[in-house]
Amino acid sequence: MKSLPQPRKMPRQARSQHMVETILEATARVLAERGYAGTNTNVVAERAGVSVGSVYQYFPNKDSLITALHERHASQMYAVVDKVLDGAGAGGLRARLADMVRALLEAHRVEPELHKVLEKEFPFFDAPHDESPADHSFFRRVRELLETHAGEIAPRDRDLATWIVLRTLETLVHAAVIDAPARFSTEDIEQNIVDVLAGYLMPGAPRAA
C-alpha cells in the first residue's frame, strides 16, 4: 500500500507558488476534459504553458498531481463547510445539516465536470480518507458539531456517527451532482439528503417540509 505522494517541496517563493497553481489548474482542466486515461504529464505541462521538467520540479510523479488536486478539493470543501458552520444561523442541528448540504451542493455545482472526474478517480489512488489533513479537519469540525448538539442526537458512539455522517454526506452529494436521474428535482434531492442525516442523528425529530 503506497503512501500518499507528497509534493516534492513546499514552495515558499511567490514564483513557485504561482507555478504550482498553474500546473494544478492545468491538471484540473485536462482531467475534466479528457478523463484520467487521457491525462498525461506532457499534456498537463503543455496546457500549463510550462515544460515537463517544471512539473517534475514540484510534483514527484503523475499521481501526486491528482492527489494534490484532491487535497485542494478537500480543503475547499472544508472551507465551505467551515464558513457555513461559523455563520451559526438560527435553528438546531437540522438547520446546520441543511446548511452544510446546501453549501456543498452549491460548491460542487461550480465545476461539475471536474468533480466528476475527481470523484471517479479518487478511489483509484490508495489514499485512505484519513491521510488527508483536510479530511482530518473536516472530521473534527463535524465531530464538534455533534458534540455541540450532543443532547439532541441518538447515536451513542459520536466518533462512529461522525464517520457515518461524513461518508453519507460525501456520497450523496457526489451522487446528486454526477449520477442523479434528471427526473429528481434539485430541491427534492437536497431535502432528502438532509432527511437522511437528520433521520439518522435525530430519529424522533419532526421532519420539515
Q: Which residues lie near DNA (CB under 7 A)?
A: 9, 11, 13, 15-16, 19, 37-42, 50-57, 61-62
196 binds, among DNA, its own copies, none (CB under 5 to 8 A by kind): its own copies
Q: Which of 19, 20, 104, 201 binds its own copies (CB under 8 A)?
A: 201
Q: Taking CB within 5 to 8 Å according to partner kind, which of its own copies, DNA, none is near residue 207?
A: its own copies
Rounded alpha-carbon distances, angstroms, from residue 29 to 26, 69, 111, 178, 190: 5, 11, 10, 17, 28
Looking at the Cβ atoms of 63 and 152, the one nearer to DNA is 63
User: Cell 500500500 identifies what position?
Assistant: 1
- Of the candidates 13, 15, 150, 181, which one interacts with its own copies according to CB under 8 A? 181
Among 129, 134, 148, 151, indicate the residue that binds its own copies (CB under 8 A).
Answer: 129
Half-sphere exposure of 136 (CA within 13 A, CB side): 4
* Cβ atoms of residues 81 and 103 within 8 Å: yes
Dihedral, CA atoms, 106, 97, 145, 109, nearest 10 degrees?
Answer: -10
76 contact, one of DNA, its own copies, none, CB 5-8 Å limit per kind: none
- Does position 192 bind its own copies by CB under 8 A? yes
The DSSP symbol for 205 reads: S
4-12, 13-21, 140-148, 162-170 -> range binding its own copies (CB under 8 A) = 162-170
Other CB atoms within 10 A of residue 160 CB: 10
Angle (CA) 107-109-114 rounded to 5° is 95
**Minimum distance from CB of 16 to DNA (Å)?**
4
Stretch that binds its own copies, among 8-16, 87-95, 103-111, 181-189 (CB under 8 A): 181-189
